[in-house]
Amino acid sequence: MLCLYGFRGLGYSPGFIRNMTGILRAIEGDPERRVEIAAAPDEICHACPHLQDGKCGKGGPESEARVHRQDERVLRRLRMEVGKVLPARLAFSRVEQGISPEDLPELCQECQWLSLGYCREGLRAGRISATSDWQVHFRSAGL
């Protein structure tokens, strides 16, 4: 969920970018869409060219453990549990209420994208935000 704030149409492959864009548009079209908090590769990860045998293979054997550590930090901060199913609008509302741009260096310390500042900018702009009529809007990057 948190990584969607930093998405700028860049990624590991054209297929990954198409998939991520499709996920964002699906949520935009249906903010009540149910999402499940997962502790394994999800719909986004399945399009990643670095997914090998169901695990992250980018950067060697330590990659999978790194991804799990980051997920655990974020879930702890949001007080969310693996397996929880909720509407996308509520999931993003929890992110926006529970994580500030200043939290990212601690939560995402091992992420290669952190230094680019995309997630910080996305959180500051409220890139994914629930409005009074609970519509989800994606701003910037032409989405």
Tell me which H or E stretch contains 122.
helix 118-125
Q: What is the pLDDT of residue 127?
A: 60
Q: What is the pLDDT of residues 85-106, one digit of tens each?
A: 999 999 989 999 999 999 999 9
Q: Does residue 137 register a pLDDT over 90? A: no
Q: Does residue 140 register a pLDDT over 80? A: no
pTM of the model: 0.80
Cα separation, 137 vs 44, in Å, equals 19
Q: What is the pLDDT of residue 133?
A: 37
Q: What is the pLDDT of residues 32-70, one digit of tens each?
A: 999 999 878 889 889 999 898 888 888 787 888 988 899
